[in-house]
Structure 1
Amino acid sequence: MRCEDGHDDAAYVLGALSPAERAAYERHLATCSFCREAVADLSRVPDMLDRLEADEFARWLDPDHAVEPERPRKPQGRVKTFSVRLLSTAASIVLILVLGGGVFAWWWMGQQAPAEPVFGPAVAMSSIESTSPIAATIQLAGSESGTKVRMQCEYSVTAEPYNFKLIAYGPDGEKEQLGSWLARPGAEFSMDGGTRFTQGALARFELVRLDNTKMLVLDVK
């Protein structure tokens, strides 16, 4: 599942958002583990590119580019330092923009392939009512940024279509919405999401209708 606000992550790292957009995106980051992980990954790119030499970056952009041997020059002090920094910043922008093309993704995966999360057994959520049109199970896996959550649910063939959402509760009543979907009669739905709460801090999951009517619950502790 991809967050609909994920297209702002690179612009946020590069400082290209307006003050209002940046404030709105930071509020979104507080409740979205997907975007927090994307920003954490992208924030490493400029630091890595700062270590690239100008000639090396030119060859990376154009393998046929021939760089003449550098002639001895007099030290140019702050002017040279500014030029190197400017080129490094331009390199960062170019490389982040080609992420969608897969060039950097291929290189990054080769350097640091993330381990697949190991989910625990599926646990059935309990129904609030004696009869419920929806049934669901939840699996958990620990992660560096919190907890990965995998949910699977089934909806009764006789029920009306309705929108549902899954909410995780942490300490002191804190909560975070993990996702929402439209349940159709007789349909099955699965969702992989995540919460900032660690497994030790997770207290409860609630599956609720869009009008906040509780349908299913699962107490973690």
Structure 2
Amino acid sequence: MSDDVYSDWDAAYVLGALSAEERGEYERHLAECPSCAAALAELAGIPGLLATVPAEEAIRETPRPIPVPDTLWPRMLRSARRRRLRTRAAIGGGAVLVAAAVAALVFALPTLTAPLPAPAPSSTVAEPVARTVALKPVVPSALRASIRVVSEGWGTRIDMDCSYGLKDGATPGYGGGQQQDFDYAMYVTDARGRSIEVATWSAGPGTSAEPSGTTSLAADQIRLVEVRSTRDGTVLLRTSL
């Protein structure tokens, strides 16, 4: 996987650093690359693990550095950094690549008359299984959301479409106030009743958001998907799978 242009995208994907176009491109690549899918599966649970660390612990200074396994956070940061550098290098090195390609073509012309080998039979790549479900309100609010549950080889991806209406005098978002932004979190609950935070976002009245969350759980292992207020943990929307 070291020569794969997408080998550094797993960390950025899990952290939500990819654009919508890049995310779609990477997901199409995952369907064809078992090694990249396996690497992503190793990181799929990272958002949930980070969410279990209390905020005061995360910002508290430690008396001495604590070594962190290379497979976790340092690897994710290095991957994102390498990807940014690679993008800059690709722009500056475009002319060099073109010149090299022309030179290679000139030297290869004498061999072009040789018969070409028959192309290998193409294999059909199965598309990820997905379904769309609407969440139901648990408490009165103008919050509305639906999710697209996508089964992947490494686990499950949940894409949410969330909107905040302002009709009929409904309370915008959660907690009142016309201009305030609110913080929300997406949780999944497994068959044992364990809840894991897989995504967070902020939004205000009259806006919409499209957060995505990933988990190493298979889709058939997820029992509930919820939207909660991060302020007090109130469950605002919920659906069963």
TM-score, normalized by length of structure 2? 0.46
Shift in CA distance, 204/163, structure 1 to aligned 2, threshold 3 Å:
same
Match of 1:60 in 2: none
Q: CA 1:219/1:97 → structure 2, altered by over 3 Å: closer, same or farther? A: closer
Equivalences for residues 152-167 of structure 1 within 5 A: 152-157=161-166, 158-159=171-172, 160=177, 161-167=181-187
Cα shift at 1:116: 6.5
Equivalent in the alignment of 1:193? 213
2:130 alignment partner in structure 1: 119
* Contact in 2 for aligned 1:166/1:179 (Cα 8 Å): yes
Q: Who is 1:133 aligned against?
A: 142
**Candidates 17, 22, 29, aligned match of 2:68:** 22
Is residue 179 of structure 1 aligned with residue 199 of structure 2?
yes
- Report the alpha carbon displacement of residue 119 of structure 1 after superposing the two structures with TM: 2.8
2-structure distance, mates of 1:98, 1:3: 14
Q: Is the 8 A contact 2:199 2:212 kept in 1?
A: no
Which of 193, 204, 220 is equivalent to 2:224?
204
Quote the Cα distance in structure 1 between the aligned partners of 2:83 and 2:164: 41
Report % sequence identity: 20
How far apart, CA to CA, are the structure 2 residues paired with 1:100 and 1:171?
42
Find out whether 1:142 has 2:151 as its counterpart: yes
* Preserved contact between residue 165 and residue 179 of structure 1 (Cα < 8 Å): yes
User: What code does the residue aligned with 1:20 have?
Assistant: I
Which structure 1 segments of 5+ residues have no match?
10-17, 30-34, 43-95, 105-113
Q: CA deviation at 1:25?
A: 7.2
Structure 2 residue identity aligned to 1:123 = V
1:145 Cα deviation after fit: 1.5
User: Quick one: which of 163, 167, 190 aligns to 1:170?
Assistant: 190
Correspondence 1:5-154 to 2 at 5 A: 20-22=66-68, 26=72, 97=82, 100-102=85-87, 117-120=128-131, 122-129=132-139, 131-154=140-163
Root mean square deviation of aligned Cα: 3.8
Once superposed, which parts of structure 1, at least 4 consecutive aligned residues long, lie more than 6 Å away? none
Distance 1:185 1:25, change over 3 A: farther
Question: Which structure's CA Rg is the greater one?
Answer: 1
8 Å CA contact 2:157–2:214 kept in 1: the answer is yes
Shift of 1:200: 1.4
Question: Does the CA-based 8 Å contact 2:159-2:211 persist in structure 1?
Answer: yes
2:229, 2:134 → 1: CA distance? 18
